[in-house]
Amino acid sequence: MSKRKGRLPCAGDYLPYILIAAVSGAIPAMTIKLRGGLIDLASGVEAGESGFFGLLALLIGMSFFGTVCRAGKERLSERHRIRALAKIDAERLEKAARTAFPVTETERFHALWRSSADAPELDDRIFRAAGDLTEIFVRLGLSLYVLWTMDPRIAGGIVLLLTAGILLNRELARNTEGFWPKYRENMRRTNYLSSLLMQREYAGERKLFSFDEEIDRRYAEAFSKAKMENAKLGRGRFRIEALMKLMFAAYSVMVVLMLMRPLLDGRITLGLFTSAFYAASGLERSCGQACAALYDIMGSRRRIGGYFEFMELEEDEANGAAGDEPLRSIELRDVTFTYPGAGGPVLEHLSFRLEPGHHYALVGENGCGKSTLVKLIAGLYKPDSGQVLVNGREVSSLSPEERQRMICVVFQDYYRYPLTIRENVSLGMDRAARDEEIEKIFESLDLHPVAVEGEAGYDAVPLPLYKSGVGLSGGEWQKLAVARCILSKAQIGILDEPNASLDPMAEAAVYAACREMLREKTTIFISHRLGSVRMADEILVLRGGRLAARGDHEELMAKDGYYSELFNTQKGMYI
Amino acid sequence: MRDGQVSTGRALWYILRAAPRSFALMALAGLGNGGASILGIFATKEIFSLVGAGYGWELFGYLGLYAAALVLSAGYSVWYIRYHVQFFAIMDFEESTRRILHAKSGRMSNEVLETPDAYAFIRQADGARQNLFRFGQIYVEAVMTLLEAAMVAAYVRRFHGMFLLLLPLSFLPTLMEMLYGARLWNRGYETVTQCQREEAELEKAIVDEAACKESRASGADELLLRKWRSSRAKRDSVEDGKSKKMLYLKLSLSPAECAGDIGGFVVCILLLRRGRIDLPAFTAGVAAYASLTAILGGLGGTVGNEIQFRHLIKPFFRYLNMPERGGVGEKCTFESTITLENVSFTYPNQTEKALDGVDLTIKRGEITAIVGENGAGKSTLVNVLLGLYRPGEGRVLYDGVDILTVRETALHRLQSAVSQSFCRYKTSVGDNVSIGDFAKGDRREINRRVAEIFPEGDVGTDTLLGKEFGGRELSGGQWQRLSCARGFYKDGGFVVLDEPTSAIDPMREKAVYDEFKRELWGKTGIIVTHRLGTVKLADRIIVLQKGKIAEIGTREELLKADGIFADMWRTQSAAYHNEK
């Protein structure tokens, strides 16, 4: 586990909080003698009339002050929680957006993202624990001093108890390190099995295959196993906590015996004896809290490491200068690309050049490297060797903004953004699209979502996120992504299987509309439905990471090779 | 449909009945804790009446009693609350409530879950299970706490009547806490949860694996971040306002809070000064006050949470109140026909009919293809035919018997299906096949089917799937082929294939369809497809349009009729015709 030091936000909140905590801690200790004096006066051990009500008022006043301090302390910690939480969450999210794309595809990125999600809570715990620790130590320290004056052994006993408590707590911390993660881990399997029996996505098969009985049995089995393991974790905790309680019971008895000596010697009054007895028993909770707070701080500091690690992930470099120059060429020069951990390269020594204003199609079987090629052209990946050039400049050296101005991609697994329809289609523009513009494009794509029929129109969010939200179907989302590309000011449009969610009839319509609307752009259509892209100016056939052939449909069919074989097999499916 | 409000009383009764022994033990433990307090007070009093006399056996005896009281009350908090409840009582409860939910979902018909918020709704119902226990605990503990407090009060009353004052005083801090909690918990709840949901969606759109590349390529990140910040600011200002309000409330109530803090001591000391009680009784009073505040202090936390838990358990009861499918008959057959009689179907919360007056007869041994645009109602029709959705109007008859009169399991025994929305089970590869029919248990067939999908042999029956559980990931096509294997592993006489190749590489689709031809031999089949070339498999084609059967007939008949099917066929064949 990394112990990298990092700064937590809102560090300025600590000072006032710790001060107020110290004051709250001082009050109970200061009342020990006060209470003792009051008891003596009341029980007539000490004579004197006038002092009693004065002391009583002082006691009440101090207690009142303590109440006010507590309220203030609570407010300060709440304020810190709200502010620091927002700051940490925002930093994490901004960092995630800046992280280099290939890094986001690694398991490490997601693991760190998940583990850093605890950072705000940990920060809050550190903050609160710091206050609690201050309060408790002030209280313990002052109380110890008072008790010391009566019998040093009582104070010694508390020190002993505290030390033992810290040691036991360390043991407890070691025992319960990752207690809740382990607990959750044990339950994860049972949760999954349970979701098979409840969630809608499994409802059809659940009924049809009547697997509920067997899965419910497995659930019960997994659950009782998880329960046993969790109970084992719990037993460790129970033993240590029980031992601490027993030690305290013994100590409480010892306190009475120890306090009796100065009482019998007449060194302390009965009132002070009583007050000290209560104070000593009250310190048990403080001891427990002090130990817990100490370990909370240490444990939280350690666990927050994931956050600092996340914040240090590699970022996109942005060093290019912005420019809106017209497109002259897209060129791949001897590009080889291998996925980390993969056996061999997906793309090997791939070279080709695309001219502006043409419509290209990229075809091939699954796994031939089509989508990888898209990500390379979009600058999301860097090639292992070779270059991907737009207008002679390396794509990966452009800033994200420049790339967005240059290239617009419609991915096959389009994302359902929690944005309004207008925002969704305006992502590639400098401004928000106007109603007429959207209307025109929706019309040509034959897109008439129910979601825009409400009062909000194009400003409705087409997700069931809001009570009134009406969703879009898969095909409608895909068309929305196509509309975004059409509206975008980018000169290169890449459509990676924009038809996966469309039926063949709609697909034909979308292709026709795209050809029409994207006339001014250079386009690359990617598909494995060959009938759809045969109208392209030029078709690039990819096979096993290499360019197998290029040419228009007729040329490729005439060659009677790989392409014509694929085409004829597919034809059987449609005709 | 989702309202089905449940009164607190009925909810409580339901919960207590679900785990009577746990709650009985809870009551017993509470009584024990009260007993421990009284024992402690008694011992304190005796100790203080003896300390003046010096060390003696009697004193040691009472000290022992005092220690025993401490151990007893420690047992309550350390053993009962932190060990037994957390690791046994709650766990047992969780298991049994979940199984209640499982059984309930088995009794509901699938169409009731076809709403956009179903996922969240089920999650909330499921998430309520621990809260149900906590809710029951609140009430049991509240009753026991009051009883414990009454026990203690009754005991100390013997020393002086004024000691009864301790009870209301010690209750003050708790009362305060309950006041704050109840008044502020609801405040801005809607706004906060709405913002939280929105932020979660926005976060997902930035970080999710599925979103990363698109968000980067489109520049959506910036907009998403901006929206996230504004939602967060809105939520935080509500939270901050709440926290400020809390401060003011606490400050204005601080005299009462202070009275609760120190009131007991003040009462006791005044009684002592007036000479109404002696010192041992004074110590007993102070000890009693400490016990009372400790006992009642716990109550503040729990009862203050009552309103919150009442909110959280509602979805559970709403789920249990969902309508059930019914049907009692055990006998269901498919010897001759499946008939739809004037069937209409509307999805919940929608106005447009997904199926509108469909009449259809399917004969045993026949293969039928269903075609039509997206949204024409193809999958809905299939779900109604399978009896997974109950029609809003009309009847579905298997051999003349209305399927709603028979048990769902009896009906599904006759069927099998492969759906376009196939499931990916994160278990072993073998389980992914055998889950089609666990009772069959034909290991050899499972192995054979797995080997057909993974000829390289790198994936076998025992290979674990699902990254989350440390298993392998498969491509969409491989998952779908696994779902085909599952569908055909089950020996259903009536097989539905609903776009069974949607995720399979079109280059390989042909081979998969050839396989279907073999598998469907001797069975009754329905194929939903967009690839018109594949309808050659079928004896008959149904063209659906806007929930109605627009055309029905053989391929030749429909091409001759020159209607919708012929139109679709022309569009598709144009794409694959050899000249431009």
Confidence at residue A504, expressed as pLDDT on a 0 to 100 scale:
67
Which residue of chain B is at minimal alpha-carbon distance from A113?
B207
Tokens of B304: 């203050």
CATH superfamily of the domain spanning B337-416+525-576: P-loop containing nucleotide triphosphate hydrolases (3.40.50.300)
| Distance between B8 CA and the closest CA of chain A, angstroms | 25
Test the B interface: residue of A64, A415, A543 with most B CBs within 10 Å: A415
Question: Where would I find the H helices in B77-208?
Answer: 90-107, 118-157, 166-185, 189-207
**pLDDT-derived band of residue A344, with 50, 70 and 90 as boundaries?**
confident
**Share above pLDDT 70 across residues of chain A, in percent, rounded to a whole number:** 93
A204:B105 CB<8 A: no
**What is the chain A residue with the closest CA to B94?**
A223
Q: What pairing do the DSSP bridges indicate for beta strands A407-410 and A492-496?
A: parallel
Does residue A180 belong to the interface with chain B, where contact is any CB pair within 8 Å? no
| Distance in angstroms (rounded) separating the CA atoms of residues A108 and A314 | 12
Asked if A460 and A469 count as a contact pair (C-beta separation under 8 A), the reply is yes
Say whether residue A267 is in contact with chain B using an 8 A CB cutoff. no
Q: Give the strand order in the sheet containing B337-345.
A: B355-363, B337-345, B393-398, B401-402
Query: What phi and psi, each to the nearest 5 degrees, are found at residue B151?
Result: -60, -50
Q: Strand pairing partners for B406?
A: B329
d(CA B467, CA A106) in angstroms, rounded, equals 12
Looking at CA atoms only, how far is residue A436 from chain B in angstroms?
A: 22
DSSP symbols for B69-82 = HHHHHHIIIIIIII
Closest-approach residue (CA) in chain B for A463: B116
Which positions in chain A touch B410 (Cβ < 8 Å)? none
The pLDDT of residue A1 = 35
Would you call A198 and B101 a contact, using CB atoms and an 8 Å cutoff? yes
pLDDT of A108: 87
Chain B closest-CA separation from residue A348 CA (Å): 22
Is it the case that residue A46 has pLDDT exceeding 70?
Answer: no
Q: Which residue has the higher pLDDT, B391 or A283?
A: B391
CATH superfamily to which A330-574 belongs: P-loop containing nucleotide triphosphate hydrolases (3.40.50.300)
Instruction: Please report the pLDDT score of residue B446 as a whole number.
Output: 96
Of B290, B438, B507, the CB nearest to A566: B507
CA of B266 to nearest chain A CA: how many angstroms apart?
A: 8
Do the chains contact at A68 and B251, CB–CB below 8 Å? yes
How confident is the model at residue A318, as a pLDDT?
62
pLDDT-derived band at A519 (thresholds 50, 70, 90) equals confident
Q: Residue B261: how many CB atoms within 10 A of its CB?
A: 22
**Collapsed DSSP state (helix, strand, coil) of residue B364:** coil
pLDDT confidence tier of residue A470, bands split at 50, 70 and 90: low
Closest by Cβ to B87, choosing from A234, A469, A501: A234
Domain chopping of chain B, boundaries:
8-159+277-320, 337-416+525-576
Instruction: Round the average pLDDT of chain B to a whole number and report it.
Output: 88
Distance separating alpha carbons of residues B113 and B569, to the nearest angstrom: 35
**pLDDT tens readout for residues A471-499:** 777 778 888 888 999 898 888 999 887 66
- Closest-approach residue (CA) in chain B for A565: B507
Indicate the pairing of strand A385-390 with strand A538-543.
Answer: unpaired
Phi, psi of B518 (to 5 degrees): -65, -45
What's the rounded Cα separation, in Å, for the pair A145 and A139? Answer: 10
SS3 state of residue B507 = helix
Give pLDDT tens digits for A292-336. Answer: 788 778 878 888 888 999 999 988 776 555 556 788 889 999 999
Q: How high is the pLDDT of residue B405?
A: 95
- Asked if the C-beta of A116 comes within 8 angstroms of chain B's C-beta atoms, the answer is no
CATH 1.20.1560.10 fits A13-175+239-310, yes or no: yes
Contact A354, A360 (CB under 8 A): yes
Contact call for residues A335 and A394 (beta carbons, < 8 A)? no
Please report, as a single letter, which amino acid is at residue B255: P
For residue B31, give the nearest of B145, B158, B154 by alpha carbon: B145
Would you state the pLDDT for residue A500? 60
Q: How far does the CA of residue B458 sit from the closest CA of chain A (Å)? A: 14
Any B CB within 8 A of A72 CB: yes
Q: Is A228 on the interface with B (CB under 8 A)?
A: no
Out of A188, A414, A505, closest to residue B373 by CB: A505
The DSSP letter of residue A315 is: B
Chain A: give the shortest CA distance to residue B44, in Å.
10
**Nearest by CB to A82, which of B114, B239, B421?**
B239
CA distance B373 to chain A (A): 6
CB-CB under 8 Å, A113 with B102: no
pLDDT (tens digit per residue) in B33-66: 999 999 999 999 999 888 888 888 999 999 999 9
- Which residues belong to CATH 3.40.50.300 in chain A? 330-574
**Which has the minimum average pLDDT: A183-192, A224-233, A289-298?**
A289-298
Percent of chain B with pLDDT over 90: 48
Cα gap A328→B462, rounded to integer Å: 54
* pLDDT tier at B436, thresholds 50, 70, 90: very high
A339 reaches B (C-beta below 8 A)? no
Most B CBs within 10 Å: which of A503, A564, A565, as the mutation test of the B interface?
A: A503
Dist. CA B321–CA A388, nearest whole Å: 60
Any CB–CB contact under 8 A between A104 and chain B? yes
Q: Which of B223, B273, B415 sits opposite A42 (nearest CB)?
A: B273
pLDDT over 90 (residue B171)? no
Q: Does pLDDT of A466 surpass 70?
A: no
Interface test with A, best of B176, B196, B218 (most A CBs within 10 A): B218
Strands B415-418 and A546-551: unpaired
Check if the beta carbon of residue A363 is closer than 8 Å to that of residue A527.
yes
- The ipTM estimated for the assembled molecules is 0.87
Is the CB of A422 inside 8 Å of chain B's CB atoms? no
A208 contacts in chain B (CB < 8 Å): 386, 388, 412, 415-417
Residue B184 pLDDT > 80, yes or no? Answer: no
Does the beta-carbon distance from B243 to A78 stay under 8 Å? yes
Decide if A491 contacts A521 (C-beta within 8 A): yes
Residue A149 burial by Cβ neighbours in a 10 Å radius (0-12, 13-18, 19+):
middle
- Residue A448 sits at the vertex; the CA angle it makes with A445 and A449, to the nearest 5 degrees, is 125
Where do the CATH 1.20.1560.10 domains begin and end in chain A?
Answer: 13-175+239-310
pLDDT the model gives residue B578? 58
Contact A419 B388 (CB under 8 A): no
CB contact under 8 A, A569 and B87: no
Calculate how close chain A gets to B573, using CA atoms only, in Å.
5
| C-alpha to C-alpha distance for A428 and A443, rounded to whole angstroms | 20
Sign of CA dihedral B325, B331, B337, B342: negative
CA distance B311 to chain A (A): 18
A204 touching B, CB under 8 A? yes
Residue in A209, A221, A263, A526 to test binding to B, most B beta-carbons within 10 Å: A209
Most A CBs within 10 Å: which of B104, B213, B240, as the mutation test of the A interface?
Answer: B213
Q: Which residues have CB under 8 Å from B217's CB, separation 6+?
A: A378, A380, A403, A404, A407, A408, A409, A411
Nearest CB neighbour to B218, from listed A201, A404, A464:
A404
Compute the Cα dihedral for A261, A263, A267, A268 and give only its sign.
positive
Mean pLDDT calculated for residue range A74-100: 92
